[in-house]
């Protein structure tokens, strides 16, 4: 078991390294660099640009050096905690990301909890009440949840919210809490606002997990050990929860870590649409303005979160499944 | 007659897309206190559904549509199990506590994610008001009784760590932990190799003698029946075609189906070129034909008679009963079957 | 015992016809597995519905110019942001006229300076099939101006154009733009999936077949790709494409980006199936009979997971469609003047616009319906292909 963990962690390191190289290269791919876009924007708005000044800026930011040198500088700084400077915002990436990373994490984790918290009971309900109207409604919801792109859902719900509910039009905090330090009251205010984005981001996840839970539970319900439990005289509700659900939960929970990247990924667009202060919109604008360090750093951070999430989930799986725990093998 | 359980004219049907499947179509038999009843028949003849009907464990889309299952808890106290709500308190108390069941695939019949100890003590805790520690002690004792080595270790193990034979012993321990009056064994040794099978059968015989309980032993293996049973019930297509003592059935079989079954057993002393089989296959359960269910495959059928009249039970004395028009019963004019099925076909 | 009866025991040396069967012996109908699959598929109403929807969608892709009543770039500046037209059947007196629209007048509200559109019940414009309209070149070959439906012999500006789904902020017919947009949105998925399939089959097959180093390398690669969150990855790759790339190349660039991640799932599954099947009894039996590696692959392995692949494809296409829609919506994918449903939805980023002109969200509806249809078909295929699935009544 311990060997397994060590092995997985060791695997993660080269992967992250490879990702950093890849991220850096991808960000650099578009021809030109931040300054090219900057100059183009300036020219488009009619301002005159001094060539010498541009060259000086280029020198200053080190944009004229070969790519591997730039990468080396970036990665060594990154590992020391300095993620470089954002050209667009003219502030250190650390500060920009730091402001938003907490919110991003909070939203992602909340979405994860809500997703599984809703999907699992709904899946069980759907399976045990197969072919009843509950099952049909949940199945329909499942289909629609899967089919609707979440950013559209965001738009629609936002529109409904503005038109009919008088919601503030997005944003995560009421005005008085916007820049305040974290406190219980602020957290509560946050929760009041965040339930909508969380639901939107989680919709497709809820739909998918619910369907899988339903299918696996149905599978397990027909197995012999369920009949044995029944023959012992257990009440139906209790035996469903103790036996087939417990077995069906294994594959679902084992992939919990894999849901996290999906959530992080999905939240990027929704956050962009709703204007939430998370890393998503930051990445979007960084990519469109070729704000190199910012974009690469965010991509890197999101990947780290992904890798860590999946690592944790693999370890979790190894821990809860007795078949793996006692045989010491990797499934 | 000290009967423990009497099954009277049981009808259990399944309602599926393809139609109405009559898994049990008028079965009647009884299990005596302290005796072993063997139930034989081909796959699909309704033996398993009968067992589950007794425990009122038939799941939708199946249900018991008619008949009674009288359980004589004591000679003074009787109750119709078929009339009880299947998941009600009373039925659940009986299930596992007074009537227990063991199943065909022991490994698959145990939960893969719960320890053996957990599963064995659960049964005790469900039916007996004892502390957890006491339940564990009793569970341990049961494991010892069924001949498992190192029972403490087994309590902490999981099913996938045990062999098939050991799992079946666990199942037996679990089933007997509350000292039920009746043990229903649904093909308990079919999935085991012959050596293990012999051991399990031996165990069951010993326990039966010790506890004085009845066993309803379902199998398609006639050899096992000969070994274990005191009385035998032969089923075909949801009906009991013959029943009697094991001696009667084996030495003096009357129904053509019973005879064909016995003849299909390969015997060493008879040098035959070809193994005897029963021609044809078990018919479609969704199409019910009037008359005797075995008509299509019977070598002694009487066309015009056997395919119109459903044979009523004929008493041959000493508890030997057969449902075959060869032995009488043709006088019972038009059978209700013929009317029902010709209308519903 | 019963051995003296006329019952005959079948033996290999009997002539046919000697054995006597019971009168009501069942007649066995034999269908090939494929026919069985088709039958089971057709039993599911949802799956059939999905299939019908997809057929309609893809037919309209082929005949897009014909089905769209107007050219997607035709601007009617007088009729900016017209809501969807109402199609009437009975006139103001209650007489049956067939489908028609009233004339439309655009006025400006004196109070809030908003455009209002008023129907003039005096002027009646019948809708007919096969009318002449904006000229186009069918499939780049044939010059014609025939459209499936429209209002004949009237200039659209005079009558108020036949906006089935309303007009955008340039007065262009949204329905026509959606139909034309379908061309890109619906086909990008197919192309992307084809690429994924190719890469996935090759790499997954190699991985499963040869194992060892080849397997390790490919597995590491897959792990690496899957370690990065999908949408940010797509965004980054899409942003990497030069902004003034010609649209055709952009189209292929996007498809390649979308399949960049997609092939990994397929490769993993194929590898898994290969590994699993290699030790299956029927493969061992074939090997014992002397089958070569290639024969095994062709005749045994591939047919056995063909149905799975089919199901996977149907369920993966929607992912691609949604991916393109998302990227274009964010401005990182296709851009105007190319028309795709994602590009059309870019207009709806403005909340004010949606509040006032909610019909610009309609492309989203088409996306949802398409994805649903694919899901229904995929589920139906999966249920049909699984020989062990049981349906309760």
pLDDT-based confidence at residue B170 (cuts at 50, 70, 90): very high
Put simply, whether A93 touches C (Cβ < 8 Å) is no
CB < 8 Å to A227, chain B: 57, 103, 109
Residues A15, C224: C-beta atoms closer than 8 Å: yes
Name the more confident of A179 and B22: B22
pLDDT at residue B345 in the model: 39
What local confidence, expressed as pLDDT, does residue B344 receive?
Answer: 42
Mean pLDDT of the B116-122 span = 92
Contact C326 A144 (CB under 8 A): no
C-alpha pair distances (Å), A240 with each of A221, A321, C276: 8, 19, 32
Is A289 domain-assigned? yes
Q: Over range C324-350, report the average pLDDT.
A: 84
**In this complex, do C371 and A146 lie within 8 Å of one another by their Cβ atoms?**
yes
The DSSP code sequence of A190-224 is HHHHHHHHHHHHHHHHHHHHHHHHHHHHHHHHTSH
For chain C positions 232-261, those within 8 Å of chain B (CB to CB) are none
Contacts of B281 in chain C (CB under 8 A): 26
Nearest to residue A126, comparing CAs of A113, A142, A110?
A142
From B252's Cα to the closest Cα of chain C, the distance in A is: 10
Residue in C348, C355, C364 nearest the CB of A163: C355
In chain C, residues with a C-beta closer than 8 Å to the C-beta of A147 are 318, 367-369, 371-372, 375
Cβ atoms of A108 and A267 closer than 8 Å:
yes
Interface confidence (ipTM) of the complex: 0.83
Distance from CA of A136 to the nearest CA of B (A): 18
Chain A, nearest residue to B52 by Cα? A231
CB spacing of C25 vs B256 below 8 angstroms: no
pLDDT digits (tens, 9 = 90+) for B131-167: 999 999 999 999 998 889 899 999 999 998 899 889 9
CA distance A159 to chain C (A): 7
Measuring CA to CA, which residue among C243, C254, C109, C239 is closest to residue C189? C254
The pLDDT score that the predictor gives to residue C296 is 67
Asked if A236's CB is within 8 angstroms of B55's CB, the reply is: no
Residue-level pLDDT at A177: 64
Predicted confidence (pLDDT) at residue C236 exceeds the cutoff of 90: no
Residues A10 and A135 in one domain: no
pLDDT one-digit tens code per residue, A121-135: 999 988 888 878 888
Per-residue pLDDT, averaged over C182-191, amounts to 89
Position C391 scores a pLDDT of: 42
C-beta neighbour count of A286 within 10 angstroms: 30
Q: Does C330 touch chain A (CB under 8 A)?
A: yes
* B63/A42: higher pLDDT: B63
Interface test with C, best of B257, B273, B296 (most C CBs within 10 A): B296
A284 interface with C at CB cutoff 8 Å: yes
CB contact under 8 A, C2 and B289: no
**C152 or A45, greater pLDDT:** C152
- Section C242-254 average pLDDT: 80
Which of A15, A48, A79 is the C-terminal boundary of a domain? A79
Which chains does A contact via 3+ CB–CB distances below 8 A? Answer: B, C
> Is C26's CB within 8 Å of B263's CB?
no
* A192 or B132, which is more confident: B132
Q: Where are the domains of chain C?
A: 74-167, 177-385
Question: Which residue of A221, A223, A231 is the best one to mutate when testing the B interface, meaning the one whose CB has the most B CBs within 10 A?
Answer: A231
Q: Provide the pLDDT for residue C297.
A: 65
Chain B neighbors (3+ CB pairs < 8 Å): A, C
Which of A161-175, B317-331, C176-190 has the highest average model confidence (pLDDT)?
C176-190
pLDDT value at residue B171: 93
Interface test with A, best of B51, B97, B113, B158 (most A CBs within 10 A): B113
State whether A141 and A239 are in the same domain. Answer: yes
Residue that terminates a domain, selected from A45, A79, A113 = A79
Confidence of residue B244 (pLDDT cuts 50, 70, 90): very high
Q: Is the pLDDT of residue B233 over 90?
A: yes
Q: What is the CATH number of domain C177-385?
A: 1.10.3720.10
Residues in chain B with CB shorter than 8 Å from the CB of C14 are none
Given a cut of 60, is residue B72 above it in pLDDT? yes
Closest-CA distance of chain C to residue A288, Å: 7
Contacting residues of C for A162, CB less than 8 Å apart? 351, 355
- The yes-or-no verdict on residue B129 having pLDDT over 50 is yes
What average pLDDT does chain B have? 86
Contact C2 B297 (CB under 8 A): no
Residue B122: predicted pLDDT: 92
Residues of B in Cβ contact (< 8 Å) with A322: 112-113, 158
CATH of the domain at A317: 1.10.3720.10
Interface-testing mutation among C49, C216, C225, C235, with chain A (most A C-beta atoms within 10 A): C235
In a domain, A85, yes or no: no
The reported pLDDT for the residue numbered C116 is 77
Closest CA to A170 of A181, A159, A180, A179: A159
Contact status of B126 with chain A (Cβ, < 8 Å): yes
Check if C2 contacts B (Cβ < 8 Å). Answer: yes
Chain A residue with Cα closest to C349: A273
Query: Total structural domains in chain A?
Result: 2
Residue of chain C minimizing CA distance to B277: C9
Q: Do both A53 and A105 map to the same domain?
A: no
Lowest mean pLDDT among A43-52, A109-118, B36-45, B75-84: A43-52
Domain with A271, as residue range(s), is: 95-330
Query: Is the pLDDT confidence value at B206 over 50?
Result: yes
Question: Which pLDDT does position A321 carry in this prediction?
Answer: 64
Confidence category of residue B231, pLDDT binned at 50, 70, 90? very high
Cβ of C24 and B283 within 8 Å? Answer: yes
pLDDT more than 70, % of chain A = 81
Judge: C372–A143 Cβ closer than 8 Å, yes or no. yes
Residues C72-78: what's their mean pLDDT? 83
Residues from chain C contacting residue B274 (CB–CB below 8 Å): 9, 11
Residues 6 or more apart in contact with residue C90 via CB below 8 angstroms: C96, C97
Decide if pLDDT at A262 tops 90: no
Give C-chain residues touching A148 at CB under 8 angstroms. Answer: 364, 368, 371
Chains that touch C (3 or more CB pairs under 8 A): A, B
Average pLDDT of every residue of chain C: 78
Contact call for B263 and C3, based on CB within 8 A: yes
Identify all chain A residues contacting C231, using CB atoms and an 8 Å cutoff.
265-266, 268-269
pLDDT of residue C6: 42
Q: Which residues in chain A have Cβ-Cβ distances shorter than 8 Å to C383?
A: none
pLDDT in tens, B5-59: 999 999 999 988 778 888 898 899 999 998 999 999 887 788 899 999 999 999 8
Query: Under an 8 A CB cutoff, do C368 and A148 touch?
Result: yes
Instruction: Out of C6, C25, C393, name the one closest to residue B17 (CB).
Output: C393
Residue of B nearest to C392 (CA): B16
Asked if residue A208 and residue A101 are part of one domain, the reply reads: yes
The last residue of one of the domains, among A79, A106, A128, is: A79
pLDDT tens for C129-172 read 888 888 888 887 888 888 888 887 777 777 778 888 888 888 88
Mark whether A69 and A101 lie in a shared domain. Answer: no
Q: Which residues of B touch A222 (CB under 8 A)?
A: none
**Residue A19 to residue C224, Cβ atoms within 8 A:** yes
Best mutation site among C24, C27, C45, C390 for testing chain B: the one with the most B CBs within 10 Å?
C24
Is the domain of A49 the same as that of A188? no
Considering only the beta carbons, identify the residue of B15, B276, B296 that sits closest to C9: B276
A15 inside 8 A of chain C by CB: yes
Neighbours of B46 (CB within 10 A): 25
Cα A282 from Cα A265, distance rounded (Å): 13
Question: What average pLDDT does this structure show over B70-91?
Answer: 89
Q: Which has the higher per-residue pLDDT, B330 or A171?
A: B330
State the count of interchain CB pairs (< 8 A) between A and B.
72
């Amino acid at each position: 078991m311990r060997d397994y963990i060590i092995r997985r962690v060791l695997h993660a390191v080269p992967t992250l390294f490879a990702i950093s190289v890849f991220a850096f290269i991808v960000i650099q791919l578009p021809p030109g660099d931040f300054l090219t876009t900057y100059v183009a924007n300036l020219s488009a708005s009619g301002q005159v640009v001094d060539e010498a000044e541009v060259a000086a800026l280029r020198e200053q930011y080190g944009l004229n050096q070969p790519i591997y040198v730039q990468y080396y500088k970036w990665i060594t700084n990154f590992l020391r905690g300095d993620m470089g400077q954002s050209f667009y915002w003219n502030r250190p990436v650390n500060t920009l990301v730091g402001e938003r990373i907490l919110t991003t994490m909070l939203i992602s984790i909340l979405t994860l909890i809500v997703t599984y918290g809703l999907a699992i009971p709904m899946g069980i309900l759907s399976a045990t009440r197969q072919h009843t109207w509950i099952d049909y409604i949940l199945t329909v919801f499942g289909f629609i949840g899967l089919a609707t792109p979440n950013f559209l859902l965001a738009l629609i719900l936002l529109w409904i919210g503005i038109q009919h509910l008088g919601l503030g039009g997005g944003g995560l905090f009421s005005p008085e809490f916007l820049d305040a330090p974290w406190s219980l009251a602020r957290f509560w205010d946050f929760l009041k606002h965040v339930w909508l984005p969380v639901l939107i981001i989680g919709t497709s996840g809820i739909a998918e997990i619910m369907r899988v839970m339903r299918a696996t539970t149905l599978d397990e319900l027909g197995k012999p050990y369920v009949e044995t439990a029944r023959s012992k005289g257990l009440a139906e509700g209790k035996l469903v929860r103790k036996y087939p659900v417990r077995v069906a939960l294994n594959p679902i929970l084992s992939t919990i870590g894999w849901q996290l990247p999906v959530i992080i990924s999905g939240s990027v667009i929704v956050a962009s649409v709703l204007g939430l202060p998370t890393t998503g919109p930051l990445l979007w604008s960084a990519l469109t303005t070729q704000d190199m360090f910012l974009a690469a750093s965010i991509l890197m951070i999101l990947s780290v979160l992904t890798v860590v999430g999946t690592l944790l989930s693999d370890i979790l799986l190894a821990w809860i499944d007795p078949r793996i725990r006692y045989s010491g093998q990797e499934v | 007659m000290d009967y423990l359980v009497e099954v009277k004219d049981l009808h259990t049907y399944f309602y599926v897309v393809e139609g109405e499947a009559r898994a049990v179509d008028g079965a009647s038999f009884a299990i005596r206190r302290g005796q072993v009843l063997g139930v034989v028949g081909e796959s699909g003849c309704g033996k398993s559904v009968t067992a589950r009907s007794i425990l009122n464990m038939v799941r939708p889309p199946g249900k018991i549509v008619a008949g009674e299952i009288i359980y004589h808890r004591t000679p003074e106290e009787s109750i119709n199990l078929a009339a009880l709500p299947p998941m009600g308190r009373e039925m659940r108390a009986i299930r596992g506590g007074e009537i227990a069941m063991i199943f065909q695939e022991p490994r698959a019949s145990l939960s893969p994610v719960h320890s053996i100890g957990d599963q064995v003590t659960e049964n005790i805790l469900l039916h007996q008001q004892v502390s957890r520690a006491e339940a564990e002690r009793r569970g341990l004792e049961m494991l010892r009784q069924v001949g498992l080595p190192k029972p403490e270790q087994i309590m902490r193990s999981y099913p996938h760590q045990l062999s098939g034979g050991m799992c079946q012993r666990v199942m037996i321990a679990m089933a007997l932990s509350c000292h039920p009056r009746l043990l229903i064994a649904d093909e308990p040794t079919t999935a085991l190799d012959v050596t293990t099978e012999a051991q399990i059968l031996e165990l069951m015989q010993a326990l039966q003698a010790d506890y004085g309980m009845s066993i309803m032993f379902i199998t398609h293996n006639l050899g096992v029946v000969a070994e274990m049973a005191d009385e035998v019930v032969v089923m075909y297509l949801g009906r009991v075609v013959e029943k009697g003592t094991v001696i009667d059935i084996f030495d003096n079989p009357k129904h053509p189906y019973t005879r064909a079954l016995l003849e299909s057993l390969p015997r060493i002393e008879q040098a035959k070129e070809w193994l005897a089989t029963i021609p044809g296959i078990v018919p479609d359960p969704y199409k019910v034909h009037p008359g005797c269910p075995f008509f299509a495959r019977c070598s002694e059928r009487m066309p015009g008679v056997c395919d119109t009249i459903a044979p009523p039970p004929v008493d041959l004395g000493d508890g030997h009963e057969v449902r075959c028009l060869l032995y009488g019963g043709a006088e019972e004019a038009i059978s209700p079957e013929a009317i029902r099925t010709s209308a519903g076909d | 015992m019963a051995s003296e009866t006329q019952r005959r025991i079948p033996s290999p040396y009997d002539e046919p016809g000697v054995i006597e069967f019971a009168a009501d012996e069942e007649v066995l109908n034999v269908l090939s597995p494929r026919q069985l699959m088709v039958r089971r598929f057709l039993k599911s109403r949802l799956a059939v519905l999905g299939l019908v929807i997809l057929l309609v969608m893809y037919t309209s892709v082929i005949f897009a110019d014909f089905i769209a009543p107007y050219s997607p770039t035709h601007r009617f500046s007088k009729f900016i942001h017209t809501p969807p037209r109402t199609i009437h059947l009975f006139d103001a007196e209650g007489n049956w006229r067939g489908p028609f629209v009233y004339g439309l007048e655009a006025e400006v509200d004196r109070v809030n300076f908003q455009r209002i559109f008023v129907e003039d019940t005096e002027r009646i414009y019948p809708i007919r099939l096969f009318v002449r309209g904006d000229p186009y070149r069918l499939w780049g070959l044939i010059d014609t101006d025939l459209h499936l439906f429209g209002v004949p012999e009237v200039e659209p500006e005079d009558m108020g154009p036949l906006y089935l789904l309303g007009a955008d902020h340039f007065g262009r017919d949204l329905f026509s733009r959606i139909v034309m947009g379908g061309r890109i949105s619906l086909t990008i998925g197919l192309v992307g999936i084809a690429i994924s399939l190719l890469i996935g089959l090759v790499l997954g097959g190699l991985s499963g077949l040869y194992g060892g180093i080849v397997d390790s390398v490919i597995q590491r690669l897959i792990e690496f790709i899957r370690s990065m969150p999908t949408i940010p990855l797509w965004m980054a790759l899409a942003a990497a494409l030069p902004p003034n790339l010609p649209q055709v190349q952009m189209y292929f660039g996007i498809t390649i980006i979308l399949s960049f991640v997609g092939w990994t799932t397929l490769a993993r599954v194929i590898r898994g199936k290969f590994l699993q099947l290699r030790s299956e009894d029927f493969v061992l039996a074939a090997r014992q009979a002397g089958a070569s590696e290639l024969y095994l692959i062709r005749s045994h392995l591939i047919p056995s997971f063909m149905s799975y692949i089919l199901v996977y494809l149907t369920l993966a296409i929607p992912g691609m469609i949604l991916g393109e829609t998302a990227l274009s919506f964010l401005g990182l994918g296709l851009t105007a003047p190319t028309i795709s449903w994602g590009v059309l939805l870019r207009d709806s980023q403005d909340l004010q616009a949606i509040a006032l002109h909610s019909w610009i969200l309609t492309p989203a509806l088409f996306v949802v319906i398409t994805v649903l249809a694919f899901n229904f078909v995929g589920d139906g295929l999966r249920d049909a292909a699984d020989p062990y699935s049981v349906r309760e009544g």
